[in-house]
Amino acid sequence: MMAVTTPQKTLRIALAQLNPTVGDVAGNAAKMREARLEAARLSADVVMFPELFLAGYPPEDLVLKPAFQDVCRQICEELARETADGGPAVLVGLPWVEDKNLYNAYALLDGGAVAAVRFKVDLPNYGVFDEKRVFAPGPLPGPVVIRGVRVGIPVCEDIWGDEIVECITETGGEILLVPNGSPYWRGKTDERLNIALARVTESGLPLVYLNQICGQDELVFDGASFVVNADCSLACQLPAFRESVALTVWEKNDEGWRCADAPKASVEEGDEADYAACMLGLRDYVDKNRFPGVVLGLSGGIDSALCAAMAVDALGPERVHCVMLPYRFTSNESLSDAADCAERLGVRYDRVPIAEPVEGFEAALKPVFDDRPRDITEENLQSRARGTILMAISNKFGSMVVTTGNKSEMSVGYATIYGDMNGGYNPIKDLYKMEVYRLSSLRNRWRPEGALGPDGVVIPENIIVKAPSAELRENQKDQDSLPPYEALDDILECLVEHEMRVSEVVARGHDLETVKKIERLLYVAEYKRRQAAPGVKVTRKNFGRDRRYPIVNRFRDQGQVAFKPDEALASAVGKARSEAYEA
């Protein structure tokens, strides 16, 4: 009599939403082993990891090194042999060379071997992604069999169109397992869910969306993994910005597979998500580069106060060193506010006056300057003295300098190159000034999950309500050189995020000459931004990864009239006149 095979009726899938480190193949494998042990404790049939988890994502050109490819393959095969123990199967992403092509691959490890491999088909090549320059596209994939279940594995971008999921459906796929390396930007959670729902609706198949969490240079990956059943109901939601190994229990009935049991966590949104992203990005940058801590100039202003709060939340107060660098233009109010902020945060706080180095520079330069009148040059000497002192502290103690300029300032060049721009990383680089105010007020009433800083008001209210000033000359205010930040930020968002015409920005109620001035400053500050420290991306279009403009650039959107050399000189002078700023 022929044996009858009983169809699989249940499947237990563990989702490993974890934090890899690019290039640390052994370390990432160790995290995989720990997660597999947890999955075994949960009686999972298979444990799933995010896209390219073994290599870390995005590996950029590191993935082109044959030695790196070899290590990834070697450790993958070691992990595969370990599955001979009868425990959960493993699904993991890694770079894979086959027939002299390099693929973004996803491998099934089971029964002591690499049981199947699928290659990413749709390679993104927009925004922060450059996968076409390093990977070859794979063929349209059919499903793989995991413990008797035919599972489709579209990798990340493969679900942003319909062709690949359609192929999986037509070749007998029963569940869609989607590994991702999907970076955070504001509103991304809803965008992902809508894409997943579109594929579920078209295919009639349930979908698992697994994303990594980590900070990697400018990018932050927020996790927030989820499961959608075939009826488009949300069956599972993992937390954002935190690691998780979670079990999803699947049952099969006459209509197909359904996720019957899984956790549902809340997910940060809006300003809370932005703050959490900045905190995670800074923490991972410092920790993964093995800095013992950070040092920053605490001026008594809003930007440095928010950066200090984020640093304490990310690293703990014992790893944050704040330094006040006063000069004769520093007000007593700023001295008091900075000391108050440092005390609330519980950090080490030092005062290092800069009068002697600034006046020493001026004395040394006096014969060269030949009694020329004081101008922006002397203001910038203050900022550059501060930058030099902070870098010296960094060199002496090993701490990384945190820079504190916001996106509004970096847009128009309201920062001093080799001065307050000195440093290793900037957690608020992609936040406009009004967003800095919002997040500061938010932090005073809300402490993020996993934050290491104190509860309550950590940024003194006076820092939030007072008029911002660089304090590089008597009675200086930011609005002496710039329009009010409410107007400036709206103009910049129009020009940077949306690439709007000047006429369209003016139609929103802004003054024509103001918009033209801001556009001009935006262009001529490009050379500064090229030399700025990296920082967390939270908007759809940040500087560097997303917005890539030429430094030599004479186009101006003023009716497309040719830009004359004397106008270029005038704008350069205007730029220089507004460049000094100490956050």
Cα–Cα distance, 129 to 60 (Å, whole number): 9
Q: Which of 32, 123, 518, 453 is nearest to 278 (CA)?
A: 453
Mean pLDDT of the residues in the chain: 90
Give pLDDT tens digits for 80-109.
999 999 999 999 999 999 999 999 999 999
Average pLDDT on 511-521 reads 91
Residue 478 has pLDDT above 70, yes or no: no
Handedness of CA 46, 50, 52, 54 (dihedral sign): negative
Catalytic residue among 72, 76, 156, 259: 156
**What's the CATH fold of domain 10-262?**
Nitrilase/N-carbamoyl-D-aminoacid amidohydrolase (3.60.110)
Q: What is the mean pLDDT of residues 428-454?
A: 96
Looking at the structure, give the CATH architecture of the domain made up of residues 272-577: 3-Layer(aba) Sandwich (3.40)
Q: Would the CATH topology of 10-262 be identical to that of 272-577?
A: no
Name the pLDDT band for 270 (thresholds 50, 70, 90): very high
Q: Which two tokens stand for residue 272?
A: 């809370």
Active site residue 120: yes
Average pLDDT over every residue of 453-466: 94
| Tens digit of each residue's pLDDT (9 = 90 or more) over 56-67 | 999 999 999 999
Task: Please give the pLDDT value at position 547.
Answer: 81
Residue 373 contacts by C-beta under 8 Å, 6 or more apart in sequence? none
Q: Are 83 and 111 spatial neighbours (Cβ–Cβ below 8 Å)?
A: yes
Q: Where are the domains of the chain?
A: 10-262, 272-577
Q: Could you identify the residue written with the tokens 């009239």?
A: 561
Q: Cβ(218)–Cβ(537) under 8 Å?
A: yes
**What whole-number percentage of the chain has pLDDT above 70?**
92
Write down the catalytic residue from 31, 76, 120, 429: 120
With cut-offs at 50, 70 and 90, classify the pLDDT of residue 486.
very high
Whether 34 is catalytic is: no
Out of 51, 157, 174, 379, which one is annotated catalytic?
Answer: 51
Interval 530-545: pLDDT, tens? 898 999 999 988 887 8
Cα dist from 263 to 14, 34, 211, whole Å:
11, 20, 16
Between 338 and 483, the higher pLDDT residue: 338
